[in-house]
Chains A and B, each alone.
Chain A
Amino acid sequence: MTAVTTAHPAGRRTTRDGFRQVLHAEWTKFRTVLGWVAGMGVATLLVVLVALLAGVSSDQKGSPPVPIGPGGEAVTDTCYFVHQPLAGDGSVTVAVSALDSSIPQGLGDLRPGVVPWAKAGLIVKESTRQGSPYAAIMITGGHGVRMQDNYVNDRAGLRGPVSAASVRWLRLDRSGDTITGYAGTDGTNWAEVGTARLSGLGSSVQVGLFVASPQVVDGMGTTGSVSTAAFGDLRLHGGWTGGEWTGELLGDHSPSFAGFPGNGSGSFTQSGGRFTVTGAGDIAPAVRETLPTGGTLNDILTTGTFAALIAVIVVGALFITTEYRKNLIHVTLAASPRRGRVLLAKAIVLGAVAFVAGLVGAVLAVPLGARLARANGVFIFPVTPWTEMRVALGTGALLATASILALCIGAIVRDSAAAVTSVIGAVVLPYLLIANPFMPASVANWLTRVTPVAAFAVQQTLVQYPQVASHYTPYQGYYPLVPWVGLAVLAGYAVAGLAVAAVVLHRRDA
């Protein structure tokens, strides 16, 4: 008895069937099967090749440049602007008594309609250059008084629509770099709406009235709109003394401006202090729908990632079902009787390889695809290096999680055909549905919350803006869940799969 114990020292015994050995055994199995290694290689290759194809085939050559805002984001900077240059500090006030919008119905037949984000008000803009810094106070078609600055910032003021019976008074004060917006109902009592700090504003700025009228969401598509506002009592105070007002349509050649509906045009009329201004377009961050020449890293990666998913799902399922088919599972379980550990070791090895495959694919695909697309005139929505890193790591994690899910289903059903079919089905079907441009936004967004395709959110690079009306759907590159939460949905399926597979593996005869 003692002799046996000394022959197998306790320490050595534990290392023998320790977890490291199980892991090593699984790694050896994986790397020595050519087909599995090749499958992972194919996954990487698919990510890269599809990105190259998407880049090479894009065709936006000669498209006009996209205006870039002060924060580096793509913007749309189109409006009818009645302005004059004013130097130093000062103040401007105006009364808005009407904001009426028209939307084309059928073929160019303009009818009165509601454009929630139609804008009319006062603006202080560094210059008439596209994408220049600004601060504005405005009345909107359906969101009351707003103070907006530098395209992305938006603050709410007085509620309710404007009309001759409820006139809205607007005021903008400039003091150095600071612009303060006020609103009121009588022209004497003012409530501050917000303050904007526009860094690097020169002494002379363009000050005046503006009217913008963005596209409206109409069923599956969008329609252009045109809006007219009536202003009265336009007055300059403080250090500002008035000159001649000139009107012009800013950014009429911008790629995000689809033109006036019904062959209209922007205009303004002046009689004393009263102005009637007609305009279209929007001063806001650019969204995917309004920028037809735009592209995202998402576009470059997602289709290739989808292709790679099929490859890693096949490898993941085979990694365990092959053991059952070749009866190697008996040897595996005899060598390591604690079955849950075997499953865990397989998941770690498989997940690590799939992660590397996805990461390498994304790291190669993003710069190559983006460069080719840019060379073909596509404007890639700018991203921070952190976002780019998240997209690359997330692509690896997406492939890893999906392959682990396939492994678990393989362990549960033990049949490769059934495992591959069910996992691919669980990914392909919702993906096909969300990749369909005609899918209603509610259905598409629901699918990207609850099904495994939620994980594609990890590749999104676009931001939704509440102050811009658009179809924020996965097809356009907007996901309802934030990136890591989306991935967590898929991870949840994988963890549930692991738990069920561990129980089943433990209970069932191998």
Chain B
Amino acid sequence: MRPALHAEWTKLRTVAGPGWLMLGMIAATVALSAAAASVVTCAADGCGGDPTKLSLVGVVLGQAPAAVLGVLVISGEYGSGMIHTTLTAVPHRVTAFAAKAITLTGVVAAAATIAVLGSLLAGRLILSHHGFTAAPGRPALSLTLRATTGSILYLTLIGLLSLGIAAVVRNSATSIGVILGLLYLLPLLAQAIGDPHWQRRLEQFAPMSAGLTVQATTDLGSLPLSPWAGLGVTAGWAAAALVAGGLLIRTRDA
């Protein structure tokens, strides 16, 4: 396993793409969060909304580069034919795939930590200028902590979900289309649906809307799922995609 991990890390480290993608993820997350925080204003009768969730809204955008990295880690190899070399070097295919998943987890989690903490800091600084300094505007530390770690985990899970999907689909363009559709389309579909019951079902099931419930720190009763259960749904998606990808890599001709 260790040589496989080392090989994957070397592959990831020595091309420019992953580094740019992770920088893009950090920039996109922090930029959107800061923009959202600077747009909101407090009404006269108090600050509504959830300041922590608002400061982390950039994750919605930052997940796209994470997903693209997850796809490229494997489909890039199919595109260039590198996969033959990889599987010759590590004939036990599941090990090779697991090494990819572990390396990806480490890289995305590290970048996500910077992105999420950066967003939170930017949001705090901007929101305190908008009158969010009052006590009701500051949720309990444990809730903020859950939102923070949850967002980091969420971004990592999206990377893994993409890796799994790309292992099934193989073609990078199609994989990116599928994963971005899965992430962004389902919540929009929930909006298009008129029946509140169906709407809630879809929100409980879609990887993005379920997973991002972990960011909520106020008004927890109105969530479609409890925060950790929501992240669990995203984890379920990632696990299912990884298992399907692992099985297909094992059985299919490369």
Contacts and interface: CB of A to CB of B under 8 A. Distances in A.
Interface of A: 35, 39, 50, 53-54, 57-60, 106, 219, 295, 299, 302-303, 306-307, 310-311, 313-314, 317-318, 321, 325, 373, 376, 378, 416-417, 419-421, 424-425, 428-429, 431-432, 435, 440, 443
A307 B180 CA distance: 10
Contact of A311 (B43, B76, B177, B192): B177
B180 A428 contact: yes
15 contacts: A50-B192, A53-B192, A54-B192, A57-B198, A59-B196, A106-B45, A295-B194, A302-B192, A310-B177, A314-B173, A318-B173, A378-B194, A416-B173, A421-B176, A428-B64
A321 B173 contact: yes
A219 B199 CA distance: 26
A67 to B, nearest CB: 22
B194 A59 contact: yes
Contact of B68 (A57, A295, A311, A417): A417
A314 B178 CA distance: 9
A420 B176 contact: yes
Nearest to B79: A325
B194 A425 contact: no
Interface stretch (B99-107, B115-123, B135-143, B182-190): B182-190
Given A106-B45, A325-B79, A432-B60, A306 B188 contact: yes
Given A310-B185, A420-B176, A424-B176, A435 B191 contact: yes
The secondary-structure label for the interface of chain B is helix
Interface in B16-74: 39, 43, 45, 60-61, 64, 68, 71-72
Contact of B181 (A58, A307, A318, A378): A307
B75 A313 contact: no
A419 B177 CA distance: 11
Given A106-B45, A307-B181, A429-B61, A60 B174 contact: no
Contacts of B61: 429
A79 B194 CA distance: 30
Could you say which of A57, A428, A429 has the most chain B C-beta atoms within 10 Å of its C-beta? A57
B194 A60 contact: yes
A416 B172 contact: yes
B193 interface: yes
A424 B189 CA distance: 17
A314 B172 contact: no
A464 to B, nearest CB: 22
Contact of A428 (B39, B184, B189): B184
B195 interface: yes
Contacts of A39: 174
Q: How large is the interface on B (under 10, 10 to 19, 20 to 34, 35 or more residues)?
A: 20 to 34
Given A306-B188, A421-B176, A428-B180, 10 more contacts: A35-B171, A58-B193, A318-B173, A378-B194, A416-B79, A416-B171, A417-B75, A420-B173, A420-B176, A432-B188
Contacts of A428: 64, 180, 184
Nearest to B185: A307
B25 to A, nearest CB: 12
B194 A58 contact: yes
Closest 5 CB pairs of A and B: A58-B194, A416-B173, A314-B177, A417-B172, A303-B192
Given A314-B173, A417-B172, A54 B72 contact: no
A233 B129 CA distance: 56
Nearest to A429: B61
Nearest to A293: B194
A431 B185 CA distance: 11
A326 B172 CA distance: 14
A359 to B, nearest CB: 21
A310 B189 CA distance: 14
Contact of A417 (B71, B191, B196): B71
- Which residue of A219, A321, A424, A443 has the most chain B CB atoms within 10 A of its CB atom? A424
Contacts of B172: 416-417, 420
Nearest to A325: B79
A405 B171 CA distance: 20
Given A306-B185, A310-B181, A57 B64 contact: no
Given A321-B173, A417-B72, A417-B75, A58 B195 contact: yes
Contacts of A57: 193-195, 198-199
B199 to A, nearest CB: 8
A318 B72 CA distance: 15
Nearest to A406: B173
Nearest to B65: A421
B112 to A, nearest CB: 18
Interface string B77-108: 00100000000000000000000000000000
Nearest to B45: A106
Interface in B133-187: 171-174, 176-177, 180-181, 184-185
Contacts of B43: 219
A425 B64 contact: yes
Contacts of A60: 194
Residue from B184, B185, B192, B198 having most chain A Cβ neighbours under 10 A? B192
Contacts of A50: 189, 192
Q: Choose among A53, A417, A424 the residue with the greatest number of B CB atoms under 10 Å from its CB.
A: A417
Given A417-B76, A420-B176, A54 B194 contact: yes
A307 B198 CA distance: 19
A310 B180 contact: yes
A303 B173 contact: no
Contacts of B71: 417
B174 A35 contact: yes
A59 B195 contact: yes
Contacts of A425: 64
A378 B195 CA distance: 12
Nearest to B172: A417
B177 A53 contact: no
B177 A420 contact: yes
B193 A54 contact: yes
Contacts of A443: 39
Nearest to B72: A417
Contacts of B181: 307, 310
Contacts of B184: 428, 432
A424 B196 CA distance: 29
The winner among A60, A325, A421, A432 for most chain B CB atoms within 10 A is A421
Contacts of B177: 310-311, 313-314, 420, 424
Contacts of A432: 60, 184, 188
A314 B174 contact: yes
A311 B185 CA distance: 12
Contacts of A219: 43
Contact of A299 (B39, B173, B192): B192
A365 to B, nearest CB: 12
Contacts of B171: 35, 318, 416
